Chain A
Amino acid sequence: MLSKTSTSNRRETISTVRAVEIVSMSPLWTKGEVKKRIQTISKDANLEVEVIQNVYYPYLQFEYQLIVKDTKGRAFCFVDMVGGVEAVSGALPKTERVRVPEIQVMPCKVDPEAAQRKAETYIIRAFTHRRKVLIAPELFIRGKHLVYRPFFILKCDSYGKKKVKFHLMFDAVSGQYQRLPLGVSTKVEATASKQRVAQVRGVKEKLRKVITGELQ
């Protein structure tokens, strides 16, 4: 009885949840292809794969023009807006505007100005390291966009000799995946996250301003 009530509450929550428009990287994998790929890799005929959720992960994408003496070039950098990890990229991915439930969109936790500083430091370091030069390039920002990477959350159950249950997150753009250690009771982490809500709200507001150009 209790579980029925909680399930109906959950359904109600999901049905009343707001949809938001975001810029998402265009997925190259469908749910069917994802299931097939995991089943193939596992070599386990008894493995059941279910896509239980979609999650949209935020990145701030920077495009820079680099000038070293008379040479010009372009560089792209992504900063993970939740964990703050940065990475350079050879090109920009294809994107599309989509409307998705707000609960599937991960909130940004990194200050956009801090993200920009990280991106610039990272590009300069990567450039000087790769080219083995001492002169740091001059950087001119040419574009800055918040894009979301779509991930499928997979629940996998193996009913073979060895019964194993696990969760994976599958990158719908690159086809790469990673295990999710889901199952730990996170009362403590949830409390901590509530304390971070105010900070996240502040970052969101700043981000909106950056994207709309108010802060530039």
Chain B
Amino acid sequence: MLSIAVVIIYMLVVLGIGIYVRRRGIAETGEGYLLGERRIGPCVTAFTHQSTSMSGYMFLGAGSMAYQTGIYSLWFGAGDVWGGPLDLSIVGRRLRRFTKLTGALTSIEFLEKRYPMPAVRWFGAIVCVLCMWLYVTAQAVAAGKGLGIVTGLPYIACVVIGLAVIVTYTFLGGYYAVAWTDFLQGIVMLIGIQAILWSAIAAVGGVSGLVSGLAAKDITLLGVWGPGNMYKGMWGLVIGAVLLWSIGYMGWPHVIVRNMAIDKASDLRPAVMWSWFYNCLFVISPYIVAFCTIILLPALVDPEMAIFETAQLLLPAVVFGIVMAAVMAAIMSTADSLLLQGASSIARDIYQRFINPKATEKRLVYVTRLAVAGMAIVTLILAITRPPAVFAAVVFVSDVLMAAFLPVVVLGLYWARVNKYGAISSMVVGTIVAMVWTLADLAVVTAISSGLMGIICSAVVLIVVSLVTPPPSKEVVAALELATSLEPLPGGIEKKSEKTLAPEAKCVTAFIQERVLEGAFAV
């Protein structure tokens, strides 16, 4: 009963954040709803970045994998520790500046601004929406399973409750509400996982007890090649595992959009530090808990329940409630970002770009909200009728997104020579290779993961096609150069600049540029 109360309080708080943001009127413009008016601070950015990337997978998928494969699963965790800081450092500053300069509001819109071609936008939007859909369905399944354990309610009711809460605050508050709820959820996740980690380690007799327990069960669980050395020598799979969760972040549209919403490009440095702090405390913990579960609950029927079952076994009701709230937080913080990303792509990249280019800001926000609700309904139906396996779905979607977008995002920000022809070819090839590789199970045959293969093919195609076709236009190159050359202002100039003048500054910039082109002004 106590654990249910904790989860209910947690859900009421996140709902309250959504209502508060709605009342403050931040989510009433396109930029406000999709990017929180680009005024999210470094700490919140780092936490929303991490909690978005670390989904229900961390409590279900990671636990399941660690329970089944032992130390081998840490290859995935090792990549994950680097993921957030790498993305914030490599992509963050340039993406923030480029999108601010060009007025891009979604990660797919950034691609079209960088590679001016309608096909880049619609292909990117379709891949993004479909992947977000599958990903959010996996999160809904995880939410249903998680809530079911706490409340004892049937799976369907739990999926409905979980989705209803997520949709309500996302619908009301847009990105600003999502970022702040993610921040709160990140903290809850950290507290929850630490609570269960230390009680699990204590229950198995400390670290030495854990090692000897695993060795007694199966010595190969302590090796880096999996139980029975089943992955021995498969370096392709290992590199793929590390890459998937490290550089993969830079290809996920729902994650890179966090860089676009940060208050100032200079805030990215403290955001990286916060990201390190968070990852060092959080990332490896679920894997270690699952290692303890191998000893504590050796005959678990559903390995995805490893962390839940351990928490239920070891913790008092209130603390178990916090752990469950943490699990729900992990799921919800990803699901809300996925829903918003999918809805943004539907509204901004498809509706406003191709169907109704004259749509006003108000209309854009309205359509985005409708898309959030629509996606949630379809997700609900899918989660009830055809629930996908959480781990498999997350890995599949991550691979496809990474292969489709990573090379075009990273090279697009660092190399002016890559062009639109290279970009569209790279996105198509990357998507197809990653999908075929996974569906045909070629990873087992070739010992190269689908994500790694997708990235290699996609990057090669991007470089080769760009080099044999004409270079990008001067406008694109100039915008890219400006985005990379905008130096931080000296002293307190940046700090004391007035943000409320930003709309005027945008208009004045356009006005002066027109006058410069006419030859009337010189700058």
Contact = CB atoms under 8 A, between A and B. Distances in A.
B523 A171 contact: no
Nearest to B515: A103
Contacts of B508: 55, 57, 106, 151, 153, 169, 180
A181 B491 contact: no
B519 interface: yes
A190 B486 contact: no
B501 A177 contact: yes
Interface string A1-34: 0000010011001100100000000000000000
A42 B495 CA distance: 10
Given A13-B520, A41-B491, A178 B504 contact: yes
A190 B492 contact: no
Contacts of B521: 52-53, 103
Given A17-B520, A53-B521, A164 B482 contact: no
Interface stretch (A79-87, A91-99, A201-209): A79-87
Contacts of B506: 83
A103 B522 CA distance: 12
A187 interface: yes
Q: A interface, how many residues as a size bin?
A: 35 or more
Interface in A24-79: 38, 41-44, 47, 52-53, 55, 57
Interface stretch (B121-129, B179-187, B210-218, B471-479): B471-479
Given A80-B504, A178-B501, A190 B491 contact: no
A188 interface: yes
Q: B interface, how many residues as a size bin?
A: 35 or more
Nearest to B497: A178
A125 B501 CA distance: 22
A57 B101 contact: no
Nearest to A181: B101
Contacts of A195: none
Contacts of A42: 489-493
B302 interface: no
Contact of B478 (A38, A80, A82, A184): A184
Nearest to B501: A178
Interface in A164-186: 164, 166-169, 171, 174, 176-186
B492 to A, nearest CB: 5
Contacts of A186: 475, 510, 513-514, 517
Contacts of A187: 474-475, 517
A131 interface: no
Contacts of A55: 508, 511-512
A169 B504 contact: yes
Contact of B502 (A14, A38, A167, A178): A178
A189 B478 CA distance: 13
Interface of B: 23, 25, 100-101, 474-475, 478-479, 482, 486-494, 496-515, 517-523
6 cross-chain pairs, A with B, having the tightest CB-CB distances, nearest first: A176-B498, A43-B491, A178-B501, A185-B478, A42-B491, A82-B507
Given A80-B503, A180-B509, 7 more contacts: A10-B522, A52-B523, A106-B508, A129-B23, A178-B502, A184-B101, A185-B475
